[in-house]
A and B are shown apart, each in its own frame.
Chain A
Amino acid sequence: MSTVPGNELLTEVEVPNRAGARSGAVGKAIDTVIRSLVPVLLALVAGGVLLLILGHNPFAFYSSVWEHGAQNKAWQESAKRMAPLLLIAVGLIVAFRANIWNLGYNGQFLLSAAIISGLAPSLVNDLPLGLAFLILFLVAGAVGAIWTIVPALLKAFYETNEIITTLMMSFIGVGLAQILIKGPFQDPSVNIAQTKVLELDKMLPHIPGTKVHVGVLVALAAAVVVYLAISRTSFGLKIDVLGANPRAARHVGIGVKQLIITSFFISGALIGAAAAADILGVWGYIRANWNPAYGDTVIPFVFLARLNPLVVIPFIAFFAVLSTGGTLATQEVGLPTDFLLVLVALILLFMTVIEFLGRRRSLGQSYLTTGLKDALRPPGSKKKAPPTEVEEKPREVVR
């Protein structure tokens, strides 16, 4: 029995279309919206204060982010950025809902990306383009899925902690990707360690009238399909049961081993597909030591969306705008692009705080803790506030 970081959040997951009690549904929805949006707003405010301290005008900075990320044609760049982010987010949601902490996304992503980059140049020339893309997406998914086999089997049969095994496999995957890029997939015609560059007309086609590749549609479709699978099918219910109470899953006769392996595979496959969308849609090649670490930035939004694949879409859109617009905006004012990671970290921080306060409130207590109340009390009254703590049982997740 052990508690895993993050399951605090997981226990709050709303089951879509399922637990939706009629009474107070609106209030509950508002509450959920507040709990999701307030951390983002607070992070922007705190980031603004930070900008002020650094001697920049926060309003100018944020409007510059908006200008470079969403206005005119910039939204198309952001939309393209969404494709890999959303596919990874949905992949993580499948695993996280089952209480499986697949933290090997970087290895799964980069290994798929390397293999796709290596195979694509010859495939798109030898096969009809549509078929080539289909095969490449399937290969990418398969590579991502295969890279979860070791953690999946170890967890299913020996209850090995997947946080450790997926991280280890991630390092191996990243390393293996470098070997592939510098070895068999190296473009012999250039001196830099990178794969052969796809010709522009051999990349994923654009959505008519835009410069946004169709990979974005694949990602949106994946989000909808996973949402339906989670909310409507027996598979979705099974992973929710496994995620919420693994002992109950065993007790009610769910094939826990198969389910762990299946969830891992789906998660890995979606993350692999993210690599295909990004390489075939945006980059056309992969360079050694390139690691966008999309997964790391996606995780806070996955939790803000309460592991709901539809709700995560606007959050990912927000981050896509922030990262495309922010990259330019930070360069303009001479900040390192790492400032964007500071914003993400602030979101994570405020999310934790809001979650804690929300938990207090749903227990019927005041938003303020006893200590805070005492501190805020006018100096005249010496009386201590009566403790309002309800003894809260630590939530346990049996693993």
Chain B
Amino acid sequence: MTRPDQGSSRRDPAAAAPSARTAAVVELQGITKRFPGVLANDDISFDVRPGEVHSLLGENGAGKSTLMAILSGIQTPDSGEIRVDGTPVRIDSPRKALDLGIGTVYQHSTLIPALTVLENLMLGDSTGLRLDAAGARARLEEFGALLGVDVDPAARAADLALGRQQQVEIIKALWRGSRLLILDEPTSMLTPQAVEELYTVLGRLKADGLATIFITHKLHEAVSLGDRISVLRRGQMVGTLNADAVGSTPPDKLEEIVIEMMFGAAAADLSEVGELRVGGVEEADAAAPAGPARVLGEPLLELVGVAAPGVGTDPGIADVDLVVHEGEVVGVAGVDGNGQRALAEAISGQRRASGGEIRLFGAPVNRLSVLKREKLGLRYLTDDRIGEGIVGNLSIALNLFLKRIGQPPYWRYGSVRKRAIDARAEELCEQFDVRAPGVETRAGTLSGGNMQKVLLARELSFGSKVVIFHKPTYGLDLKTTLAVREMIRQMRDGKAALVISTDLDELLEVSDRIVVLSRGRLVGEVAPGPGAAEEIGGLMIGDVSLSLAGAESAA
């Protein structure tokens, strides 16, 4: 089977098995890219061959995104050479990248929600006045057959599940005959089932001779999917494990090698890293403390039949019953956009509940303001760090105190006591390992990880009792992720935590039990253990697929 619209330049698929002798589709040599104060890419050489998946692994800030941006024409390198089929090229626009056969699938959907699948795909066909809908439909069918997926050309992009949207994105990236597909963190928004489908699709594309760069910071994905694995660290290429090595090394051993490449030799011994390695159920079991036998304390947070309205495209919640006891960490799983934000904001007080009762320490708080609930010990670690967590113009110190503006001893007689604030802020920065030149540094200049640490310091200090963690490790690097998960686990010590996350591995690792949120309702509860991931995945998409079927039959 050949992919549609593939010219003679493509090599025979039969010979596509990666080997050192196969000429690279795209080759980077000595790529350097400098941003103010940062050397994002330092003399990086890298290539990808037909019929292979090349995993690109690295922590946040390691330079993966820059490298990808250079390949897809968003950035141009300061120095270095890019060769396509051995010919040096200059990729100075995304269109040029597409013309050269490099297609990119970004982490977040770039489909236009109001348009149909077919219309989205035809957006790139801007040659000539007439749209060739019939031809495009035939092309889509060919692609569907190649990928082994069945996409309805007339479905609106907005009605598709995220996994399906991504398949359309892949088709879009290949639409004009790409020979290199770049996938940026493709699994971060997907259910386990959708990840399986993605793996299948990538397998078929590989067999068809497509070169793929698979960018991820999840180790087990890089190892299970990559023919070759390259690791970036602080803008430098640490090394590439070639196909023979990957093929002949058992996965456990391979992961150890890769961890060493990512963090240096010393880090491989870190016991915590091991926990995250596979991220699978077995590890999660080991991490969870004694399960049902543990005695729980009083219920600290109770939701009885709570409903809250949606805002814009963000859906609301209905009939939510939930109890979090003292010493308990409860996870909320669900595909993004199923009412997570409404749930968090209804509890924090940012959104008025339209029904039901929310109780803190046994007393109803429905009518209390955000500030009053905060004073009772309720904290909400927002998922939108930049959008609502941080005020970028203000210093780290002031950001740490935004939830206690005007309160003694930091404000006296209406006047700010800067010294008291700075002293306490310095303590907090030390305690939570915030890396910054000083507490006077503008919070907006911090990296995502440090920003999250500032927020954690704010939410976990000053007498917090019940904390809602909303996507607490989203976009963070491995080390920070581990630190944050450890903080969540420590909530078992006399406090209570509600962890809302789309990362199932994370929930399995930190939660005592997991409830599943789907279309604004809690559809089930699962205890972490063997088979939990599959069960949760089923609950997560159950209603979505029903609604999709409804939408399709209506169309």
Contact = CB atoms under 8 A, between A and B. Distances in A.
Interface in A222-276: 232-235, 237-238, 240-241, 244-245, 247-248, 250-255
A233 B415 contact: yes
Nearest to A390: B35
A241 B403 contact: no
A386 interface: yes
A123 interface: no
Given A15-B393, A233-B416, A250-B350, A245 B388 contact: yes
Contacts of B392: 244-245
Contacts of A21: 437-438, 440-442
Nearest to A237: B405
A391 interface: yes
Interface string A356-399: 00000001110000000000000000000011001100000010
Given A19-B394, A238-B405, A387-B92, A247 B388 contact: yes
Nearest to A396: B387
A244 B393 contact: yes
A386 B388 CA distance: 36
Nearest to B77: A386
Contacts of B371: 253-255
Contacts of B440: 19-22
B387 A234 contact: no
A386 B393 contact: no
B366 to A, nearest CB: 16
Classify chain A: how many residues form its interface, as a range: 35 or more
Given A19-B393, A245-B387, 17 more contacts: A13-B393, A18-B395, A232-B416, A241-B391, A241-B394, A241-B405, A244-B394, A245-B391, A248-B387, A250-B370, A252-B405, A253-B374, A253-B403, A364-B35, A364-B37, A386-B76, A391-B74
A252 B402 contact: yes
A11 interface: yes
B232 to A, nearest CB: 20
Interface in B409-444: 411, 414-416, 418, 437-438, 440-442
Give the 6 A-B residue pairs with the shortest CB-CB distance, closest first. A364-B36, A234-B406, A253-B371, A253-B370, A247-B388, A252-B402
20 contacts: A18-B394, A19-B440, A20-B440, A23-B437, A234-B405, A241-B394, A244-B393, A244-B394, A245-B391, A245-B392, A247-B384, A247-B387, A248-B387, A250-B388, A251-B350, A251-B370, A253-B403, A254-B405, A364-B36, A364-B37
A87 B500 CA distance: 49
Interface string B81-111: 0000000000010000000000000000000
Tell me if B's interface is mostly helix, strand, loop or mixed: loop
A278 B405 CA distance: 37
A99 to B, nearest CB: 12
Of the candidates B374, B388, B392, B393, the one having the most CB atoms from chain A within 10 angstroms of its own CB is: B393
Of the candidates A11, A19, A398, the one having the most CB atoms from chain B within 10 angstroms of its own CB is: A19
A398 B392 CA distance: 14
Nearest to A398: B387
B389 interface: yes
Contact of A251 (B75, B389, B395, B415): B389
Interface string B459-470: 000000000000
Interface string B34-51: 011100000000000000
Contacts of B402: 241, 248, 252
Given A23-B437, A232-B415, A253-B370, A18 B387 contact: no
Interface of A: 11, 13, 15, 17-23, 232-235, 237-238, 240-241, 244-245, 247-248, 250-255, 363-365, 386-387, 390-391, 398
B478 to A, nearest CB: 25
A305 to B, nearest CB: 17
Nearest to A387: B76
Contacts of A250: 350, 370, 388
Nearest to B375: A253
B369 interface: yes
A244 B387 contact: no
A250 B348 CA distance: 11
Given A18-B395, A252-B403, A234 B416 contact: yes
B394 A240 contact: yes
B398 interface: yes
A244 B386 CA distance: 11
A255 B35 CA distance: 40
Interface residues of B, number: 42
Of the candidates B74, B349, B411, B416, the one having the most CB atoms from chain A within 10 angstroms of its own CB is: B416
Nearest to A238: B405
B380 interface: yes
Interface in B205-262: none
A70 B468 CA distance: 62
Tell me if A's interface is mostly helix, strand, loop or mixed: loop
Contacts of B35: 364, 390
Interface of B: 35-37, 74-76, 78, 92, 348-350, 369-371, 374, 380, 382, 384, 387-395, 398, 402-403, 405-406, 411, 414-416, 418, 437-438, 440-442
A396 B414 CA distance: 31
Contacts of B442: 19, 21
Contacts of B438: 21-22
Contacts of A234: 405-406, 411, 414, 416
Contact of A237 (B369, B380, B384, B416): B416
A49 to B, nearest CB: 36
Nearest to B458: A252
A240 B388 CA distance: 14
A255 to B, nearest CB: 7
Of the candidates A15, A241, A245, A398, the one having the most CB atoms from chain B within 10 angstroms of its own CB is: A245
B414 A233 contact: yes
Contacts of B389: 248, 251
Contact of B394 (A15, A390, A398): A15
Contacts of B348: 251
Nearest to B312: A1
A254 B395 CA distance: 18
A292 B288 CA distance: 73
A97 to B, nearest CB: 11
B343 to A, nearest CB: 15
Nearest to B415: A232
A386 B74 contact: no
Nearest to A10: B393
A234 B410 CA distance: 10
Contacts of B384: 247
A365 B36 CA distance: 8
Contacts of A255: 369, 371
Given A23-B437, A233-B416, A251-B382, A244 B369 contact: no
Contacts of A232: 414-416
Contacts of B395: 18-19
Contacts of A17: 418
A252 B398 CA distance: 12
A225 B225 CA distance: 65
Contacts of A251: 348, 350, 370, 380, 382, 388-389
Contacts of B441: 21
Nearest to B388: A247
Contact of A18 (B74, B398, B403): B398
A198 to B, nearest CB: 38
B444 to A, nearest CB: 9
A343 B35 CA distance: 39
Contacts of A398: 387
B369 A253 contact: yes
A255 B403 CA distance: 12
Contacts of A387: 76, 92
A21 B398 CA distance: 13
Contacts of A19: 393-395, 440, 442
A237 B388 contact: no
Contacts of B380: 251
B457 to A, nearest CB: 14
Contacts of A245: 387-388, 390-392
